[in-house]
Amino acid sequence: HPLDPPADPFAVAQAAADDIARLTGVERHDVAVTLGSGWGKAAELIGETVATVPATEVTGFSRPALEGHVGTIRSVRTPQGRHVLIIGARTHYYENHGVRRVVHSVRTAAATGARVMVLTNGAGGIKDTWSPGQPVLISDHINLTADSPLEGATFIDLTDLYAQRLRDIALSVDPSLDSGVYCQFRGPHYETPAEVQMAKAIGGDIVGMSTALEAIAARQAGMEVLGFSLITNLAAGISADPLSHQEVIEAGRMAEGRISALLAEVVGK
């Protein structure tokens, strides 16, 4: 794979950014958004699509593992004239392709010029006041993967990783938004009730299988990060009923309109 050692992941990201500029005709992007489950509709609401490119045509992106989920990369222009790169081709850590592949889309976004990285995902909620379909701002993360996208002695500060400035913009759009600490588990299995209680005990409010590693890479690339979780289910053991993937998909579909409008407004600010 082009990202396998001895490749330089940043050179591969630059090649991907050059592909995107060539294929979309957009030289520079200002903001990048990674769409997680439930956030698919946001692209149309963020602005006018300038170009849509199959991710497989961009260096370092591969056919996503998700059934029927053709990974696309879209260039969208907001009413304010901002160029937004919408990445619909996330590689999950649980696919076991290595961290370089997980964070390639973030490094590529930075190489296209984007200074803001918006990471969205579907996740489980630990706070029992939350209900399926609710979007939540990510205030910080706990990385339970025991891995890092950083290689060698690259000591990066992660204070204010989920930029307060961007969270304030989101709160100005929707003051009712709650916030939470996101715990990235390796997955692909969901947590046991005991693991959910552990996440709660260590200060977690959200459990997921993405985002933390991408956020670290975004900070390394000098980007400001904004993270949103769509709570599609209460985490295992928080409510009596067992998790069903169907319920997760359904909750995402129900919430799509509201959260896409929210994301579009925030990106437009």
* Euclidean distance between CA atoms 168 and 163, whole angstroms: 9
Q: Does 232 bind ligand 8IG (CB under 6 A)?
A: yes
Specify the DSSP class assigned to residue 242.
Answer: P
Between residues 235 and 264, which has the closer beta carbon with respect to ligand 8IG?
235
190 binds ligand 8IG (CB under 6 A): yes
Smallest separation (angstroms) from ligand 8IG to the CB of 57: 28
How many Cβ atoms sit within 10 Å of the Cβ of residue 189?
Answer: 10
Binding segment for ligand 8IG among 88-96, 106-114, 133-141, 229-237 (CB under 6 A)?
229-237
Active site residue 256: no
| C-alpha span between 60 and 120 (Å, rounded) | 21
Distant-in-sequence, close-in-space partners of 98: CB < 8 Å, separation ≥ 6: 3, 4
| The only residue of 209, 221, 226, 262 in contact with ligand 8IG, by rule CB under 6 A | 209
| Residue with smallest beta-carbon separation from ligand 8IG | 124
Pick one of 207, 221, 226, 264: the residue that binds ligand 8IG (CB under 6 A).
207
Side chain identity, residue 164:
Q
Name residues whose C-beta falls within 8 Å of residue 241's C-beta, 6 or more positions apart in sequence.
Answer: none
Which residue in the list 27, 48, 67, 191 is annotated as catalytic? 191
Candidate segments 60-68, 104-112, 168-176, 228-236, binder of ligand 8IG by CB under 6 A: 228-236
CB-nearer residue toward ligand 8IG: 3 or 235 = 235
Phi, psi angles (nearest 5°) of residue 236: -50, 130
Query: Per-residue x/- marks for ligand 8IG, 115-134, CB under 6 A?
Result: -------xxx----------
| Residue 235 touching ligand 8IG (CB under 6 A) | yes
Question: Is residue 32 a contact partner of residue 85, using CB atoms and an 8 Å limit?
Answer: yes
Q: Between the CA of residue 40 and those of 30, 87, 169, 176, what are the distances in Å?
A: 20, 10, 21, 22
Q: What are phi and psi of 47, to 5 degrees?
A: 170, -160
**Residue 29 CB coordination number (10 Å):** 26
Helix, strand counts (H, E) of the chain: 7, 9
Quick one: 79 or 193, whose CB is closer to ligand 8IG?
193
Gap between the Cα atoms of 33 and 39, Å rounded: 10
Binding residue (CB under 6 A) for ligand 8IG from 136, 208, 217, 263? 208
Please, which residue, 172 or 192, has the CB nearer to ligand 8IG? 192
Query: According to the binding rule CB under 6 A, does residue 227 interact with ligand 8IG?
Result: no
CB of residue 139 vs ligand 8IG: minimum separation in angstroms?
Answer: 18
In the complex, which residues of this chain contact ligand 8IG (CB under 6 A)?
Answer: 37, 122-124, 185, 187, 190-191, 207-209, 232-233, 235, 248
Question: What residues act catalytically?
Answer: 191
